[in-house]
A and B are shown apart, each in its own frame.
Chain A
Amino acid sequence: MIELEGVGYSYGGGELLSDVSLSLAPGSFHFLTGPSGSGKTTLLKLCYGALVPTAGQVRLFGQDRRGMDRDDIAMARRRIGVVHQDCQFLDHLDVAENIALPLSVSARDLLAEEANLRELIGWVGLRARAHARPPELSGGERQRAALARAVIMSPDAVLADEPTGNIDWEMSERLMRLLIELNRMGKTILIATHDLALIRAAKTHVQARVLRIAGRRLQLAGADL
């Protein structure tokens, strides 16, 4: 589904990642950890096609990233839901409209999708906040709204970059439960986080591979994880 083979990425004369190989198979669950600035976000961006590798090959759904044009990338992103730490909402739209944004940009009939949208908003526990503006939401609510937006197109994979970075433990657990539930529905999950406690807690509920970026390279995490 998403494959990286011998990938390197350099920026501004410095090498951020080197010889990274990773295969995200359908239905797999991965954690990506490492210290701040180690290249977790860069690796995630390579996985959803926002960056082009400077070495090696990235394949998204069988297509070489280098051979994909801007429209191909846009189409691939409809199959990969992304949750950012800062969520990135459009503040002039309400929560429901933000969650429905992927449907809007892919010219889907919003009326036909209304029931699904309502169900999804309920699933992330934001029914009462559906018509609030993003700045009115708490950190946890924002993350759940971002997750709902990431999965509304029923993507094959969900990539989350520090999704629990700005929220308390209770909210982090709640969000993690939702991600595990998605994985049980067959979605591929890749979560970049430096929160080792969260990884340990999640591993009691799901079989996950934990990867660590160290010294610009990707490796399997130690037995403690």
Chain B
Amino acid sequence: MTVLSGLLSQLLPGDTQADRVVPPSGFTATLTLFTAAAMAFLAVFALALSLATGRLADSWSNELARTATVRISAPEGQMAAQTEAALRVLETTTGVARARALDDAEQAALLEPWFGPDLPLDQLPIPRLIEVTETEEGFDTQGLRLRLAAEVPGAVLDDHTRWRKPLVQAASRLRLLGWLSLALIGAAMAAMITLAAQAALAANAQVITVLRLVGAQDDFIARAFVRRFAVRGLGGAAIGTVLGCLAILALPSARIEGGFLTGLGFQGWHWLLPLLIPPLAGLVAFAATRAAARRRLEKMP
């Protein structure tokens, strides 16, 4: 809060006298602007990645956690009887909200991506699938497995845990990576701006000596540099954020067929989040320059 109020007090009213006494900083101005713009551009993508993977993890976790499949493999004459038996077991199992055997058309649709249309299901030993929807409380997987094994020998229960867990884990890790990238982008920007500020301070050593000679306090001298770099950080980040958002807008819209990549964007109020990047970049530039200026000034007489 103190840093924020310091930033606002030094940026909003401006200090034309402090600005005037420090000469234009040449290449450091361009460097700061470019760094802030590039980092903000990357930050928009890292943010989009984090949010998209977050959505993906939630969706996989929610959708798959409440469903299971019972697969029935039985000789042709026993398929219908075993399916009926399995459905009876499921209907009397606590925690099962709904159990429904997929019909031939639905099974054919599932296999169509691999075998193409017009698959003669009746001529192939395809197992029958039963889609199971759980209640909020869920069912006892182990208990159901034992009952099915006793009453329907050809039934195999798949509660999706086996492949849901690594997917959700991968999505969660990706989300974490996105946030980590954001933190690294912030740190890299702070480092670059510190270097640029140090270069500007070193280039203006003579100016600082003269200012100290005529009675300037460190705050006055630091303010001239801090304001300059914070404003450039803010401006550069605003440019980078706008470009990053335009690039995100230019991505193909989210489609199921496109999978994860087409969902890499912002949805709803998440579009407001990139607006935080420029003020945060300004804050990073402010803190980095202030620290660099303080260190430098303390070494001077």
Contacts and interface: CB of A to CB of B under 8 A. Distances in A.
Contacts of A1: none
Contact of A77 (B17, B21, B24, B215): B215
Contact of A93 (B20, B209, B220, B301): B20
Interface of A: 45, 50-51, 70-71, 74-75, 77-78, 82, 84, 88-90, 92-93, 97, 101-102, 104-107, 110, 149, 153
B150 interface: no
Given A71-B218, A88-B210, 19 more contacts: A50-B301, A51-B301, A70-B218, A70-B297, A70-B298, A74-B212, A74-B215, A74-B217, A77-B213, A84-B213, A88-B206, A90-B21, A90-B207, A97-B20, A102-B215, A105-B216, A105-B217, A106-B215, A153-B215
Interface string B3-33: 0000000000000010011011000000000
B291 interface: no
19 contacts: A50-B213, A51-B301, A70-B297, A70-B298, A71-B218, A74-B215, A77-B212, A77-B214, A78-B215, A88-B210, A88-B213, A89-B210, A90-B207, A90-B210, A93-B21, A101-B210, A101-B211, A104-B20, A153-B215
Contacts of B17: 104-105, 107, 110
Given A50-B301, A90-B23, A105 B218 contact: no
Contacts of B207: 90
Contact of B217 (A70, A82, A104): A70
B210 A74 contact: no
Given A74-B212, A97-B20, A105 B220 contact: yes
Contacts of B24: 92
Nearest to B219: A71
A199 B213 CA distance: 26
A148 to B, nearest CB: 12
Dominant SS among interface residues on chain B: helix
Contacts of B21: 90, 93, 101, 104-105
A55 B184 CA distance: 49
How many of chain B's residues touch chain A, expressed as a range?
A: 20 to 34
A113 to B, nearest CB: 12
Interface of B: 17, 20-21, 23-24, 206-207, 209-218, 220, 297-298, 301
Contacts of B210: 88-90, 101
Contacts of A88: 206, 209-210, 213
Contacts of B213: 50, 77, 82, 84, 88
Contacts of A74: 212, 215-218
A107 B223 CA distance: 13
B18 to A, nearest CB: 8
Contacts of B212: 74, 77
A110 B16 CA distance: 12
B301 A75 contact: no
Contacts of B220: 105, 107
A90 B21 CA distance: 8
Contacts of A78: 214-215
A78 B215 CA distance: 5
A120 B88 CA distance: 106
B214 A101 contact: yes
A105 to B, nearest CB: 4
Contacts of B206: 88
A107 B17 CA distance: 8
A107 B15 CA distance: 10
Residue picked from A45, A50, A153, most chain B C-beta under 10 Å: A50
A190 to B, nearest CB: 16
Contacts of A92: 23-24
Residue picked from A88, A97, A101, most chain B C-beta under 10 Å: A101
Contacts of A75: 215, 217
Contacts of A153: 215
Contacts of B301: 45, 50-51
A51 B209 CA distance: 13
Contacts of A89: 210
Contacts of A101: 21, 210-211, 214
A99 to B, nearest CB: 10
A62 to B, nearest CB: 18
B21 to A, nearest CB: 6
